[in-house]
Amino acid sequence: MFQRLPDAGDLAVAITIDGKPVKARAGDTVAAALFAAGIDHCRTTPVSGTPRAPYCMMGVCFECLVTIDGVGNRQACLVPVQEGMSVETQRGKREIGR
């Protein structure tokens, strides 16, 4: 569904998504790295388990919530990737601030 433009020599950043090593581009957001890695959703709803994915890509809709380095409910579209970052997709509800 999503494809990157041809490589412009961007630097690679090593992160993990759900425990799997992934190479992202420096300057990408976590949401962009998820899409580039072929992950089509980043959380499920607490009640029905419906998958949700980044929608607005600018921090308005809150559909892209993930756990980053152990902190839940982070907006993937607003957080730039960093070397060694650990990203986990969220299943169901999370506690605020965890």
Tell me what pLDDT residue 71 has: 93
Cα–Cα distance, 42 to 51 (Å, whole number)? 7
What is the H or E stretch that residue 34 is in? Answer: helix 30-36
28 located within any domain:
yes
59 located within any domain:
yes
Residue ranges making up the domain that contains 24 = 12-91
Tell me what pLDDT residue 68 has: 97
Amino acid at 76: A
Cα–Cα distance, 94 to 73 (Å, whole number)? 7
50 located within any domain:
yes
Tell me what pLDDT residue 9 has: 63
5 located within any domain:
no
98 located within any domain:
no
Q: Domain holding 34: CATH number?
A: 3.10.20.440
Report the number of distinct structural domains present in the chain: 1
6 located within any domain:
no
Mean pLDDT for back-to-back runs of 10 residues, the chain (98 residues):
64 95 93 93 90 92 94 95 96 65
